[in-house]
Structure 1
Amino acid sequence: MELEDRLEEILPQVTNPTRYMGREVNSIVKNLDEVEVKVALAFPDVYEVGMSHLGIKILYHLLNQRDEVAAERVYSPWEDMENKMKEEDLPLFTLENKAPISEFDILGFTLQYELSYSNLLNTLDLANLPLRSKDRTAKHPLVIAGGPCASNPEPLAPFIDLFLLGEAEAAIEEIVDKYIAWQNNNYSREELLKDLATLEGVYVPQFYEIDYDENHNVSKFEVQEGIKEEVKKRVVQNLDEAFYPEKFIVPYMDVVHDRVNLEIARGCTSGCRFCQAGMIYRPVRERSHERIKELAENLVSNTGYEEISLTSLSSGDYTGVADLAMDLVDEYETDKISVALPSMRVDSFSIDLAEELQKVRKTGLTFAPEAGTQRLRNVINKGIAEEDVISAVTDAFEAGWRKVKLYFMIGLPTETEADLQGIVDLAKKIANLGDEIRLNSDYKRRVSVNVSVSTFVPKPHTPFQWSQFNTLEEINDKIQYLKDNLRGKDLSLDWNEPQVSLLEAVFARGDRRTADLLEQAWQLGARFDGWREVFDYQLWQKAAQKTGFDLEEYACRDWSLKARLPWDHLMLGVNKDYLKEEYDKALAAEKTNNCRYDNCSNCGVLEQLEARMDLLRGLSNE
C-alpha cells in the first residue's frame, strides 16, 4: 500500500489532520522522478507555526522556479501523529508528494528558536536518518540549517552537515548548483562539503576542531587546511531585485499569521543592546513603494487574504511608511482588506495612522517599553522615554481604544528592585489614565492593560553576549514581586516559565558539549519544548544528570570579555570591538544614537559588506 493511502487511514484518528494533508492552494507538486535535486524544507514545529514563517515561503517558491529542482515542505508531527506513525511504521514525509524524507537529496532546517532543537533531532529520527553527521553517507540527504539560531550553530554542530549564515535566498541556489555538479562527477561526500565550504556564508563544522577548558572557554581552535578560518554571512543586496513570491500557499486551517506577510525592509539601526535580530540583520535595506504595491496586488489576488501586514524589524522607520500605508488602505478599503503595521515603536506611533489602519478591523494596541525606568532603558539603549509611552496611550484611549498590551523584560543587566517597581508604576499609571479618560469621554467601556513579562536571555553577536543570566531563584523572586505588586482594576500580568528561559540561555550561548545534553533529553522524550503544555523540565534535569551537566551553572556562568567565544569565527556583520564598546556604555547607562538619523556608529557591518563585494568582484573577473 502506498504511503499516501496508509495516511488516509490514520489521519481521521489524529487531531488537526489538515496539518498533514498538503495539496493546499498555490502548493507546487512536481514529479520527483523528473527532477535532478529534491529539497525538503523543514520547520521543526507544527504546521500552523511553520506555515507562518516568511523565510520558508521565499525558499519554497524560489527553488520551485527551477525546472530541475523540487522543493517540498515538512513540519513536526504533533504527539498523537508521531505515535500513530510509529505504530504503523510510517516514515516522516513531505506534504506535497507524501514522499519519505530519506529519499530527498537535501534536508534544510530553519532555526528560529533554541527550544525547537529537540524537534530537529526528532525530525531526523522519524525520517530514519542518523542523528550525527559523522554517521551519514552519500546515500543520505545533505542536512543543512539556517536562520537566526545559526548565528551560534555550535550546539547543533555534530548533527548538521553545513550551516548557512545570513540570508538563505542569497546562497541556496549556489548550494543546489554545487550539489548537481557533485551528482554528475561522482566524488566523495567530504569533497562535496569542502566544495560547499568555499561558498561565502557556508560553515561546515566538521572542518573545525574546537575544545574547551574547565571554565567553558575555548581552549583549542584549529581549522583544516584549505578551509577559511572565518565565515561571513550572506546578504541580499537589493530588496527590489531580490526574489519575493507573488503566491503564498493558502492553508485549509487557521495558522498563526494567516495573512499576506509583505516584507517592506530588512535590518534595524535602533541599536537595542539585547536584540540579536537588530544586530545580525544589518544593514538596513528597503523595498520601494512601487515594488511593495505591486507585490500587494499580486499576493491579494493570488491568495484571497483579507489582511496585508507590512513587516520589518521596525516598520515605523521605513521611509514614507505613513504614505505607503495610507495608499494601501485607500486601495483595499472597499474590498474590506485591512492593512497592519505590526512593529511600530512607541516613539514613531501615530494615532492618526493607527485609526486609518484599523478602519476595517479594530484590534488592541501593543507597546514595548521593555524596561520600567529610564535608567534601565538607557542601559539597553531603548530610545524612548516614559513621556513617549504616556503620549501614545493617551492618544489611543482618547480615540476609543480600550485594550493595551505592554511588553517588558526582567533580568536585564544592572536591574534593581527600583526597575521592577518602575514596571508596576508605569502600568498602574496607564491603567489609571485610561480609566480617567473613559469617565470623561463617550467611550464608557473599561480599559484593559495587559503587562507581558519575558526573561532576558543573553544572545550571541549582541553587546549583552557577555552578560550574566539570572538564576532561577532570582527570576522567580522578580516574577513574585510583580505578582504581589502589579494588582488593580483593569490590570493583568503574563509571564513565561523561568525554566524555559534557562534552557534557552543554555543553548543560545552553548558550545558543542551541549549536543550530548540535547540528544540525551530527546532520548528521554523531550519534544516541543517551547510549548507550555508539553514542556517537561524534569526530562532536562534527568538528561543533565546523565551527562554530568549543571544547567544553571552553565547558563548563569561569568563570561570574560577577553575570552574567545564559541561563535567568534562566525562573522555576522557587527564587529566584536563595537559590541564591547556598547557593553561598556550599557554598564555606564550611556545611549548610542540611531545611525539612521545620526552619525555612523562604526558597528563594522558596512566595512564587512564592502569587503565581501570586493571579493565577489574579484571572483567575477577571474
Structure 2
Amino acid sequence: MRKLALSDEILLNIEKPARYIGNEVNMVVKDPESVDIRYAMCFPDVYDIGMSHLGIQIIYDLLNKRDDVYCERVYSPWVDLDKIMREKNIPLFALESQDSVKDFDFIGITLQYEMCYTNILQLLDLSQVTLLSKDRGEDEPIVMGGGPCSYNPEPVADFFDIFYMGEGETEFYHLLDLYKENKKNGGTRKEFLEMAAEIPCMYVPAFYDVIYNEDCTIKEMVPNNPHAKGGVRKDIVLDFDKVEYPEKPLVPFIKVTQDRCVLEVQRGCIRECRFCQAGSVYKPLREKSLEKLKYLATTMLKTTGQEEISLSSLSTSDYSHLKELIDFLIEECKSRHINISLPSLRIDAFSLDVMSKVQDVKKSSITFAPEAGTQRMRNVINKGLTEEDILNGCEQAFKGGWNKVKLYFMLGQPTETNDDVDGIMDLCEKIAELYYETVPKEKRNGKCQITASTSFFVPKPFTPFQWAPMCTSKDFLDKARRINDKLKTLLNRKSIKYHWHESDISVLEGLLARGDRKLAKTILYVYEKGGIYDAWSEFHNEELWQEAIKETNIDVDFYVTRERKEDEIFPWDFIDTGVTKNFLLREWHNAHNETVTPNCRMKCSGCGAASFGGGICHEN
C-alpha cells in the first residue's frame, strides 16, 4: 500500500489536502524500481491552477508511454503546507509515488507566466536541490525548463541546467535516450549537458557567456563550450494529426480552474496581433483533422466521465472544420447532458448561432476582446477587428437573447493617446445604446450589463512591440482613472462596470519579461526574504520587490520604460523561433504607420515561419 508523504495530522490541518495525495482518475502507476529514468513534471503554482494546464497533461502522457520512464507530477505547495514543510524539514514529493523529488533524475518546470519565478525557487528549495545550477552536485537532478516564458529564459537562466525550446513532443525521447546512454557509460553531469547541447532546440545556459556594452546593453553572447551552438532553434510538431495526445487525461478530485476535457483543435495562429507573443512563437498554424478530433472527443469523455468539453486554441474560430466539429459535438453531448465550452470565438452570426445551442442564454455573456477603444489604435496593434464588427456582433447577440457583454482592453500600448483611452468608454456607451435601441422593452431580459476590463500592456519578446517602452505604474493608473472618471459622465453609466488590474505587478512583469541574467539575483533576493506566489495579489509584496531591486542595483527604467534602439541585441536574440527579427521590425514600423497586415490565410507576410516547412505556411 502506498504510504503518503504527509501524516494524517498534517493533512487534516491544511486547506484542500486532496491537492497532495494523488490517486486521481487516470493517474499512471508504475514501479519506480523498474524504470531507468524518473521525471518530476512541475508546475510552479498551486494544484488548482496546474491541474488545468494542458501542456503538463500532454508531457505526462507522452513520457509515461515509455516503459523505461516514470513521469510524476509536482505542484507548488500552498502557503499553509509550505510553512509546515519548512518547519518539519519535509522534502517536496511527487503525487504519484509520494517519493522525494530530490531523488529523481529530472525536475522539469514549466514557465507559464513571469510572476511565478519565485515559486520556481520554492520548488527547488523544498526539494532540497541547490538553487544555482553552477553549484549543483553530480547526484542532484537535472533541472529543465520549458513553456512560453522560456522564450526569454535569461532572468532565470542561473537556476536551470537546460531549457527546451519549442514543443515537447519532438525531442524529449531523444534527450532521455542520451541521458540513459550517459548514465550507462558512467558519464558526468557536464558530459550529459554537452550531449544535450548538441540538440538544436536545447539551451544550456552555463555554456554561454554574456558580454555587455558600456551602456549595459548586450554586446554579444558567446559559447564557452565546443558543444554549444551559436544559437538555439525551437522545434515544433509538423504533422499535428499524428502527434500523441492524452486519451485518458487526469481527472482531479477537487474543483480546479478548468475542470473539463480539453480538445486541442490546432496549434499556432493566423492572426498578426502585434502585442501577442503566443501568436508569434507558436507559428505556423497546424490543425488536427476532423476525424481525429471526433475520435479524441468521444474517447476522452468516456475515459474521464467529465461533464464538459472545451475546444482549445489561440483562435478557435479559425479552425477550418469548426462547423462540422460543433455539429458533431452537439449531437454527441446532447444525450449525455455534457456542456460544450467554446473560448476564443470571433463573435459573428455563426458563433452566436452555435452559442445559442450550447449555452444557457439567461446565464451566459458574450465576450469581445477589442483590445483598444478606437479604430486607429486597433490598426496600430493589428487587431483585425473593426467597430462595425463589434457593434454588429453585439446587435446580433442582443437580438438572440443575450444582455451581458464582457469587453477586454489593454492600456498603455504604443502610440496611445488620450483620445484612444477615452474611446474605451465611448465604445461601451455605443453598445449600451445599441441594446436599448435594438431590443423592445417587452423582450428585454433585464437591463443591459456591460463589463469593461483593462489590463496594462507589457511588451513581450518576439513581438513587434519588443522595441516599445512600457508605461510607469503611475501612467497606467492615470489612464485607468481617466476611464473611470469618464464612465461617471455617461448616460448609460448604470449599465456599465469597469475593472482594472494592479499596475505594480504589470511593471514587474515587464521587468522580468525583457530582462537579462542580472535579474536572477533580484529574484533570489525576493525568494530568500520570503516572497512566493507573486501572481496572487494577496501574497505579492511590492515593498519587498522594490527593496530587492534597490539592493541588487537594478535600473527598472533601463528594462521597462526605455525604448529600444532598432539595432539593439536583445537577451533572447540567440533563439530562432522561425519568425525573423526583420519581419518584427517591419511590423514595428507598420504599427507606427497604422498599417494593417492581413492574416496568414489572406496573404503571406513573409514572417519566416515557412522555414519549418509545415502548417499553413506550407499550404501557401
Normalising by structure 1, what TM-score?
0.95
Q: For 2:66 and 2:349, how far apart are their aligned partners in 1?
A: 42
Aligned to 1:324: 325
Match of residue 460 from structure 2: 459
Structure 1: distance between partners of 2:613 and 2:199: 15
Paired with 1:381 and 1:142, the residues of 2 have a C-alpha distance of 41
Does the 8 A contact of 1:438 with 1:446 survive in 2? no
- 8 Å contact 1:524–1:543 — kept in the other structure? no
Conserved in 1, the CA contact under 8 Å of 2:382 and 2:597?
A: yes
One-letter amino acid of the counterpart of residue 128, structure 2? N
In 2, the alpha carbon distance for the partners of 1:348 and 1:261 equals 25
Q: Contact between 1:233 and 1:571, CA under 8 Å: does it hold in 2?
A: yes
CA-to-aligned-CA distance 1:531-569 (integer Å, 9 cap, x gap):
111111111011111111233443112211111111111
- What's the CA shift for 1:219? 2.0
1:607 matches 2:611: yes
Distance (whole Å) between structure 2 residues aligned to residue 472 and residue 335 of structure 1: 49
2:502 corresponds to? 497
Conserved? CA contact 2:270–2:285, under 8 Å: yes
Instruction: Determine if contact 2:195/2:227 at 8 Å carries over to the other structure.
Output: no
Instruction: Provide the C-alpha distance between the structure 2 equivalents of 1:79 and 1:70, rounded to a whole number of angstroms.
Output: 28
SS in 2 for 1:350: helix
| 431-440 vs 461-470, which moves further | 431-440
Query: Identity of paired residues, percent?
Result: 44
Output aligned runs, 1:147-296, within 5 Å. Answer: 147-224=147-224, 225-296=226-297
User: What is the identity, as a one-letter code, of the residue corresponding to 2:50?
Assistant: G
| Distance across 1 between alignment mates of 2:361 and 2:453 | 27
- Superposed displacement of residue 444, structure 1: 3.4
**What is the distance in 2 between the residues matched to 1:362 and 1:237?**
40
Q: Tell me the secondary structure at the aligned position of residue 407 of structure 2.
A: strand
CA 1:239–1:360 in structure 2 vs 1: closer, same or farther (change >3 Å)?
farther
- Kindly provide the amino acid, as one letter, of the partner of residue 61 in structure 2: H
Please state if 1:110 is matched with 2:110. yes
For residue 356 of structure 1, what is the aligned residue in structure 2?
357
Partner SS state of residue 158, structure 1: helix
Shift of 1:184: 0.4
What SS does the aligned partner of 1:73 have? Answer: strand
2:299 matched residue in structure 1: 298
Q: For 2:45 and 2:477, locate their aligned partners in 1 and report how far apart those are by CA, in whole Å.
A: 28
On the 8 A contact 1:46/1:77 being kept in 2, the answer is: yes
Write the deviation string for residues 202-239 of structure 1: whole angstroms up to 9, x where unpaired.
Answer: 01111110032343310232113232101110100111
Change (3 A) 1:562 1:96: same
1:429 correspondence with 2:430: yes
CA-to-partner distance for each residue in 1:544-598, whole Å, 9 max, x for gaps? 11111233443112211111111111011100000000000000000101121x2
Instruction: Give the AA of the match of 1:29.
Output: V
Q: Name the counterpart of 1:571.
A: 576
Aligned to 2:618: none
Counterpart Cα distance in 1 of 2:372 and 2:584? 21
| Structure 2 spans left out of the alignment, 5+ residues | 615-620
The answer for the alignment partner of 2:592 in structure 1 is: 587
Per the alignment, residue 617 of structure 2 pairs with none
> Alignment length, in residue pairs?
609
Counterpart of 1:511 in structure 2 is 516
TM-aligned CA distance change 1:309 to 1:362, over 3 Å: farther
Structure 1's consecutive aligned runs of 4 or more residues displaced over 6 angstroms after TM superposition are none
Is 1:334 aligned to residue 339 of structure 2? no
- 1:525 is aligned to 530
Alignment pair present for 1:391 and 2:396: no
Distance in 2 (CA, whole Å) between partners of 1:93 and 1:140 is 15
Check 1:435–1:525 CA distance in 2 against 1; reply closer, same or farther (3 A cut).
farther
- How far the C-alpha of 1:359 sits from its partner, in A, is 5.9
**Deviation per residue, 1:69-113 (Å, 9 max, x gap):** 101000001111101111221011111111111010000011110
Q: Conserved in 2, the CA contact under 8 Å of 1:398 and 1:441? A: no
Counterpart residue number, 1:142: 142
Give structure 1 stretches of 5+ with no counterpart.
611-622
Aligned to 1:83: 83
Cα pair distance change 1:6/1:351, threshold 3 Å: closer
Task: Please say if residues 347 and 384 of structure 1, whose CA atoms lie closer than 8 Å, have aligned partners that are also in contact.
Answer: no
Question: 1:320 offset after TM fit, Å?
Answer: 2.1
* Aligned residue identity for 2:542: Y
Distance 1:89 1:249 in 2: 30
Are 1:266 and 1:312, in contact at CA under 8 Å, matched by a contact in 2? yes
Q: Distance in 2 between matches of 1:229 and 1:36?
A: 32
* SS of residue matched to 1:168: coil
> Which residue in the other structure is 1:29 paired with?
29
- Residue type of the partner of 1:567? W
- For 2:423 and 2:573, the matched residues in 1 are separated by 36
Q: Note the aligned Cα RMSD (angstroms).
A: 1.7
What amino acid does structure 1 have at the position aligned with 2:306? Y
One-letter identity of the residue aligned with 2:448: V
Rate the CA distance shift 1:416–1:347 in 2: closer, same or farther, 3 A: farther
DSSP 3-state at the match of 1:157: helix
**Are the aligned partners of 1:208 and 1:222 in contact in 2 as well (CA < 8 Å)?**
yes
Aligned to 1:615: none
CA distance in 1, matches of 2:402, 2:587: 38
1 CA distance for matches of 2:451 and 2:581? 37
